[in-house]
Amino acid sequence: MPQATFYFPTGFLWGTATASHQVEGGNTNNNWSAWEEQPGRIHAGERSGLACDWWGGRWREDLDRAAEAGQNAHRMSLEWSRIQPAPDRWDEAALDHYRTIVRGMVERGMTPLITLHHFTDPLWLTEQGGWESEKTPDLFAAYVRRAVEALQEYASLWVTINEPNVYTYSGFISGEFPPGKHDMGLGFRVMANLVRGHARAYAAIHALQRHARAGIALHYRGFVPARRWLPLDGLVAGVQHRLFNQVFPRALTDGTLDFITSRVRVPEAAHTQDFLGVNYFTRDHVAFAPLLPLQAFGRNFFPADADLSGTGYLANDPEGMFEALRWAHGYGLPLVVTENGVEDANDGMRPRYLAQHVHQVWRAVNFNWQIKGYFHWSLVDNFEWERGWSQRFGLWELDVETQARRKRPSADLYAAICRENGLSSAMVTRYAPEVYSNLFPG
Ligand code: BGC
């Protein structure tokens, strides 16, 4: 059997990604805590509750785990509603708390990547229209200024907004996220405001910290025409790709939001990315469906022979990772894989998913595309939004009742990758032998 190691460039960032509402616990002042109170919104009526109790101090033990497992970076997010609990109030104690956590990362030898907005909005903001309102971009920039002032001593890598495309799609088109609307036109308005918010945040960050690197984390979804011979499938897959994947990075490149049938100019957004963050999980197959206008007339599904995750939420489709990076490379920016992972409570699939996706990142690195790091989603099982606790994405398992953590085998595989700065045939033999011949053809 061939023996080899796929090495990554020196200084490559290896980490995990987390988000405030999903790990902190005790968030009661944002739109998601209100959403969790509404019947029927969250799987089995579950709540984020104590989450992983990071706000209570368990971030320490989890970051210890990450550092001991060879991770040299961590991506976390800040909770706007903690830092600015009311329009006229800034909470210095919350900022201090975040300083302690981010300093804790640096002390553990991990480069912090800080997300300023990861799906949640303060309740007071929601009450005045949230991102539907023209006023929100400036309010966001004011919050970003405060946060960056407080943390700039320790952090210089910033994601302004996580997955603005998922925020818009899930909140304003499919309605699974708050505010639960189904209105494409409103979605376009929200997208334009998110672009304005990003542009103002980008300017605020650079005004405070000249060497900062700022960008977004985009959810890249592959859309594969279901029937290659049917032009309509290709057409709707192309429309979904343009609306879901392209609108934001294009707007941050040339200041134009291209909604295909209409365009909005936000000139100040041009050239406001220092890197492009790519969150990749899976690819969809798309078939023309005349009765689904909100889906751009496409029905999305996984093929019958797909390698599906625990609840069927994701298909293990590593080629899509390469495709995502090839597409992202087209923007001519440094790239970071800001999320990639799979829900898999018994860790039956995760080792091969991890090995296969890291292998695809390595392939892309070998084209000399400027890929700077990989952040696995996620460190410990955490609150999965409308899916509650039904999906387990952690390298460590969490017992939500007792807060006990238990390491999954994938954590050891990922530790080996991080320590070696590469993926070896010995690792694959040990943790994911079923894909050995696929990754190391003889
Ligand atoms: C989001 C995370 C989420 C993950 C898995 C990503 O789209 O950024 O917050 O937990 O998907 O569902």
State whether the beta carbon of 65 lies less than 6 angstroms from ligand 1: no
Determine the pLDDT at residue 13. Answer: 99
CA of 223 to the centre of ligand 1 (A): 18
Q: How far is CA 62 from CA 46, 329, 344, in A?
A: 23, 33, 19
Q: How far is CA 440 from CA 5, 204, 359, 426, 427, in A?
A: 10, 47, 10, 11, 12
Cα separation, 424 vs 416, in Å, equals 9
Peptide bond into 437 cis (omega under 30): no
Closest CA to 142 of 75, 207, 94: 207
Q: Which residues of the chain have pLDDT under 70?
A: none
| Pair 373, 73: CB distance under 8 Å | yes
State whether the beta carbon of 80 lies less than 6 angstroms from ligand 1: no
Number of H helices, E strands in the chain: 16, 15
- Report angle CA 7, 11, 12 to the nearest 5 degrees: 60
Q: How far is CA 59 from CA 128, 183, 340, in A?
A: 33, 38, 21
Query: Buried b vs exposed e over 241-267: b needs ≥16 C-beta within 10 Å?
Result: bbbbbbbbbbbbbebbbebeeeebebe
State whether the beta carbon of 162 lies less than 6 angstroms from ligand 1: yes
H helices of 241-391, where? 247-254, 319-329, 350-365
Q: Which atom of ligand 1 is nearest to the CA of 281?
A: 11
CA of 162 to the centre of ligand 1 (A): 9
Q: Which CATH number belongs to the domain containing residue 104 in this structure?
A: 3.20.20.80
CA of 323 to the centre of ligand 1 (A): 20
State whether the beta carbon of 279 lies less than 6 angstroms from ligand 1: yes
State whether the beta carbon of 384 lies less than 6 angstroms from ligand 1: yes
Parent domain of 240: 5-439
Cα separation, 351 vs 367, in Å, equals 25
Determine the pLDDT at residue 386. Answer: 98
Determine the pLDDT at residue 22. Answer: 99
Determine the pLDDT at residue 68. Answer: 98
Q: Which atom of ligand 1 is nearest to the CA of 119?
A: 9
Residues ≥6 apart with Cβ < 8 Å to 135? 128, 129
Determine the pLDDT at residue 87. Answer: 98
pTM for the full model? 0.98
Determine the pLDDT at residue 136. Answer: 99
Q: Which atom of ligand 1 is nearest to the CA of 219?
A: 7
- Among protein residues, the one with the nearest Cα to ligand 1's atom 5 is 384
Count of structural domains, the chain = 1
CA of 25 to the centre of ligand 1 (A): 17
Tally of CA atoms within 13 A in the half-sphere of 305 that contains its CB: 0
